[in-house]
Structure 1
Amino acid sequence: MATTRRPGGRSARVQAAVHRAVTDLVCERGADQVTIPAVAERAEVNPTTVYRRWGSIPALLAEVAAAEESGPPAPTGDLGADLAAYAEWTLADLSRPGGIAFFRAEVAADVDERRAGLRECLKRSSTTIEALLDRARGAGHEVPALTDVIDRVVAPLYFRVVFSIPGTDAAYARGLASALHREA
């Protein structure tokens, strides 16, 4: 007889408590100071539960980061508006509680995990940007190259958020998008 997982129940409560604990601890201490025993204590679960389900802090941080993402806005085909919306979403995602800490954790594990985390992060961003560019191309717009969007919109936002550079706000994000759109 096949078993099925119930939506909800104890498993969902444990996952929600652990996710909340991770987010709180990352915001309070930084991702590099989060441990499985600390997460378990905060979530009021046994550490073996966390080890059994997630195995490691990098795996747990990656799951929480993915679960916390709201997802970028759907492309409309209006290149200027879509680039601006994507830039604002990127900034908001990085600026949310724990956002940049989760990114740092995703790419700061051991060398192999860091490479895998960086590849996955770039893949997610590239897929989203390509969909935006394809939609605009389908609407008859000239579109910039994917690398131009990454180099001129995404990378500056990551850099400025990582280094807490003043003036990194929605207007700045829209300005990056607007400058690239004018040249497309």
Structure 2
Amino acid sequence: MARPGGRSARVQEAVHTAVRELADEVGRDALTVPLIAARAEVTPSTVYRRWGDLQALLSDVAVERLRPEAPPEDLGDLGSDLRAWAEQFLDEMGSPAGRAYIRDALLGDPDGSNAGQCSAYAAEQVGVVLARAADRGETAPDVETVLDHVVAPMMYRILFRPSGHDAAYARRLVAEVLDAQV
């Protein structure tokens, strides 16, 4: 097995897969580095060398799970596209699984790089929506404005007030940011 610096893609994929499978089978609280290493067919020292500890590994897996799988849907206009994206984002991040991934991503993140990566995922998705609007000649806010006025309030609610956020809340945030553009 090739192990350039102990960071080969195959090892990472095997360990990530082991974490996901075992979390489904035995629950997240039952996970241990030796259990994960055995499932991934690597030594525990490989896991410790690569990730340092279980929390850092869970954080790495969570960041990967938070990566969007597809670009935002193109519904033909900025309002529809941004509303659909915001509703989906809120639904996914606000779900029990989404909140658990967010917590894991942040817990194993002493330098903020995981939080930055998660923010970059959202910014990239918003950027796609806004670029499509610009291509259609629509007036659109910039990415940072959408992050500040749509994503940030949703994330606050998801993390600190886990009830009272629904599709109507996401639509209201989008309407407010778009109305400010007029």
TM-score by length of structure 1 reads: 0.71
1:98/1:166 CA distance change after superposition, 3 Å: closer
Aligned position for 1:62: 60
Asked whether the equivalents of residues 106 and 118 of structure 1 are also in contact (C-alpha less than 8 Å), the reply is yes
Report the Cα distance in structure 2 between the residues aligned to 1:177 and 1:167, rounded to whole angstroms.
16
Query: What letter matches 1:118 in structure 2?
Result: A
Hey, what's the Cα distance between the residues in 2 that align with 1:74 and 1:166? 26
The residue that corresponds to 2:134 in the other structure is: 137
1:74 partner SS: coil
Aligned mate of 1:170, from 161, 167, 179: 167
Contact 1:91/1:170, CA 8 A, preserved across alignment: yes
Pair 44,77 (structure 1): closer, same or farther in 2 beyond 3 Å: same
Aligned to 1:45: 39
Are 2:146 and 2:177, in contact at CA under 8 Å, matched by a contact in 1? yes
Partner of 1:98: 97
Give the SS at the match of 1:172.
helix
Deviation per CA, 1:87-119, whole angstroms, max 9, x where unpaired?
Answer: 11211221234212211221222522xx21122
Deviation of 1:182 after TM superposition, in Å, equals 2.1
Q: Secondary structure in 1 aligned to 2:39?
A: coil
Q: Is the 8 A contact 2:62 2:104 kept in 1?
A: no
> What residue in structure 2 maps to residue 161 of structure 1?
158
What is the number of equivalent residue pairs in this alignment? 165
Residue in structure 2 matched with residue 6 of structure 1 by the alignment: none
Structure 1 alignment gaps of length 5 or more: 1-11
Give the letter for the 2:57 counterpart.
Answer: A
Query: 1:129·1:146 contact (CA, 8 Å) conserved in 2?
Result: yes
Other-structure match for 1:181 = 178
Give the CA deviation at 1:123.
Answer: 1.5
Residue identity over aligned pairs, in percent, reads: 29
- How far has the Cα of 1:77 moved from its partner? 4.5
CA RMSD for the aligned pairs?
Answer: 3.3
**Alpha carbons 2:59, 2:106 under 8 Å: kept:** no
Matched, 1:25 2:27: yes
Q: Is the 8 A contact 1:77 1:137 kept in 2?
A: no
The answer on whether the counterparts of 2:93 and 2:99 sit within 8 Å (CA) in structure 1 is yes
Work out whether 1:117 is the aligned partner of 2:133. no
Match of 1:3 in 2: none
Q: SS of 1:98's equivalent?
A: helix
Query: CA separation of 1:65/1:78 partners in 2, compared to 1, >3 Å: closer, same or farther?
Result: same
Q: How far apart, CA to CA, are the structure 2 residues paired with 1:50 and 1:182?
A: 54
1:136 Cα offset (Å)? 0.4
Cα distance in 2, alignment partners of residues 77 and 92 from structure 1: 22
Gaps of 5+ in 2: 1-12
Q: Cα distance, 1:20 vs. partner?
A: 2.9
Distance in 1 between residues matched to 2:107 and 2:15, nearest whole Å? 26
